[in-house]
Amino acid sequence: MKKLVMIGNGMAGVRSLEELLKRDNSSYDITIIGEEPHPNYNRIMLSNVLQGKTELDDIIINEWEWYKENNIKLITGEKVTGIDRDRKAVSTDKGSDISYDDLIIATGSSAFILPVPGSDLDGVIGFRTIEDTEKMITIAETKKKAVVIGGGLLGLEAARGLIDRGMEVYVVHLLPTLMEQQLDAPAARMLKKDLEKQGMIFKMEKQTAEIVGETVVEGVRFNDGEELACDLVVMAVGIRPNVALAKDCGLEVNRGIVVDDYMRTADPSIYAVGECAEHRGVAYGLVAPLYEQGQVLADTLTGKEGPGYEGSILSTQLKVAGCDLFSGGKINEDDETEAIVVQDAVAGVYKKILVEDNKITGIVLYGNASDGNRLFSMLKKRTDISEYTTAAVFQKAGEAEDEATLLAEMPADETVCGCNGVTKGTIVQSILEEDLTTFDDVKKCTKAGGSCGKCRPMVEGILSLTLGDNFDAAAQTNGMCECTDKSRDEVVAEIKEKGLQSPMEVRYVLGFKHPEGCSKCRPALNYYMRMIRPADYEDDKSSRFVNERMEGNIQKDGTFSVIPRMYGGTTTADELIRMGEVAKKYDVPLVKITGASRIGLYGVKKEDLPHVWEDLDMRSGYAYSKSLRNVKSCVGSLFCRFGTQDSLGLGIKLEKELEMVDTPHKMKMGVTGCPRNCAEVLTKDFGVVCVENGYQLYIGGNGGTEVRECDYLKIVATEEEVIMYAKAYMQYYRETGIYGERTAPWVERLGIDTIKTVLMDNEQRDYYVDRFTLARDTYHEAWSAMLKKNDEKKLYDVIKI
């Protein structure tokens, strides 16, 4: 077994070993020597630690146990002091002498400290390590004023963190615009304006001449003579590759350690990867290209042939709340490029796409960077954009870019997590093969979202798209969503207590991190508002999921399913003929009887949806909605010799009485004509078993991936009582359920005894029935108003986007 030694325990090096172990976990005896006393951690997340968003323990990528499980010897707190290429051995400051067959230098980089008088004072800190972060947090506990030198990505993240720690922060920048390597002047001005609103104070076009103080920092003096008093100086003016070891042992070194396309140095048994390496004249300081290097190095070490590393096109995002930006490729026009620019000063949105020969060469997005990954993928693939629409103005919220549609149409090889190089296909495959159900599951398995976290909404969107109805939005976060730490109950209580009138007002008053909300809280708040204020809150269609707006379930290829309402699974000859004619006219690839005894048209193109519904001239079956989907029933006493009651008729009555009203998640009901249970009602949200002396009622069942059998509620004598209990049960679930929570976990959370107590109490049951009736009336009124407003037009014409 060959001896593989790696100097450095950072992100790029350990990622290389992770890739190596995927390919071959038995050919190398691996030793890692790390100067810091920690296992491998995520440096990108240090700004989140400083900002108080997460704890140090949460940014560990590979725990101590990972090294043991993979038979890796990890030496921490020890510094390599020399490489003897003749003996093939490395020595450390603690006297260790470790031989190797192959050596990886992954020493990373260090913060560049300006060589000005006073730069060695106590209180001058770079921002690269856990130790740096802990020092800054400690100083912020007792000191009040900080100066951050450098208005780039790292400097702004450090400044935001220190503000969050209660310090007054000045950002000093040599140039007239911030993040000049990633943003053009208009975007940089918008960024500066937003950061000033957050409390940052800028000193632009200032050159630091001296850091003032005796033994500790007391202030900063600039070349123009101006001085700033401060207790802390953070240097964020760049990084310097750690190349001393390579240089001392005679390897070729420029700015970084020179490597070829296979990450080999001038010595064929020594490799370099990460921030310390220089490839084709470039030393990279961002994670994504370093991970790409790691994959190539793993291929090289395992003898896998390939094109090698060909360099990377860089993209950047900023981890500061309230500043949504994305940059990739070029940022400024030249003689060869043309720019497509859309700027909305009112909304604070700026988008610039640089184009050359009908291909994207640069992207600058500010204020709304949701298109960043998609456009960056087009840039890297050199996609011909001649058929793409360039710009759109005055679209309703949510209509411009439908996230679910974009995710469905996104190719499997498109990158979702730029930091870790994780594609959509990798995420989908992992969800299906590893039974992943939450964002944390995906992050742990694939590392998607494990660095800067900006791709979390996309990862959750892919989870939702892949799992469909089995996606549990409530399980994704402790708070209601990433915008707030408040729970569902806290948000609902504040809405009622403060009399809040709109989701926007809720987000503002309750201090949500993102004024526009996110993909989870927008539909959730829309639901809660309508549930709390059924009579005076107007439904916000743009906050609903694409399935609800389009009245069809989006499929994996971006097409939709159309399922008309067929009460009790019954239909007419005329409806059957129309469905057949529509299927032929629009070339529908699949017509199928669904599990809910309805006819579904699958594979309908998005642009055909309004016309399909118009030609069908049938009500929607709500197969896409968070509401009552259907009531499954057998034929009962109408035809079956075992039937005790008219289960089909009761099922149709229930469906008509309870349809249209939104609930926290989808609901399915069933009525079976006898205890033989042909309608499988004991795994439904609400089930009815017809018996000789009445109707047995059951609640809280689920037939999904985790089957839950119903709890028995009671037996009633009449159909009217069945409907009454169903309404009360449904409304109690509406008012206490978490948006995205099925009734099965809801029953487990509240307890079956609590629910029974409410439903058995005449006063409480009547209260919830009345509340349900009020809500249902508003849905019917809205339906009627839309039909009247649009004359003969159907609902699909009103809601189509």
User: Residues annotated in the binding site for [4Fe-4S] cluster, as ranges?
Assistant: 634, 640, 674, 678
Find out whether 545 and 739 touch, Cβ atoms under 8 Å: no
HEC string of 173-205?
Answer: ECCCCCCCCCCCHHHHHHHHHHHHHCCCEEEEC
Residue for token pair 């057949």: 580
Distance CA 224, CA 209 (A): 9
Find out whether 783 and 798 touch, Cβ atoms under 8 Å: no
Selection from 153, 137, 134 nearest residue 195 by Cα: 153
Distance CA 414, CA 418 (A): 10
Which residues are annotated binding-site positions?
A: 634, 640, 674, 678
Distance CA 21, CA 27 (A): 9
Q: In Å, how far are 569, 623, 680 from 595, measured between CA atoms?
A: 10, 11, 11
Find out whether 121 and 215 touch, Cβ atoms under 8 Å: yes
Which residues are annotated binding-site positions for siroheme?
A: 678
Stretch (H or E) spanning 172? strand 168-173
Selection from 752, 740, 678 nearest residue 708 by Cα: 752
Residue 317, classed as helix, strand or coil, is: strand
Find out whether 295 and 12 touch, Cβ atoms under 8 Å: no
Exposed e or buried b per residue across 422-454, where buried means at least 16 C-beta atoms within 10 angstroms of its C-beta = bbbebbbebbeeeebbbbebbbebbbbbbbbbb
Backbone phi and psi for residue 407, each to the nearest 5 degrees, phi listed first: -65, -40
Exposed e or buried b per residue across 317-350, where buried means at least 16 C-beta atoms within 10 angstroms of its C-beta = bbbbeebbbbbbbbbebeeebeeeeebeeeebbb
Find out whether 353 and 365 touch, Cβ atoms under 8 Å: no
Distance CA 370, CA 726 (A): 42
Stretch (H or E) spanning 600? strand 599-604
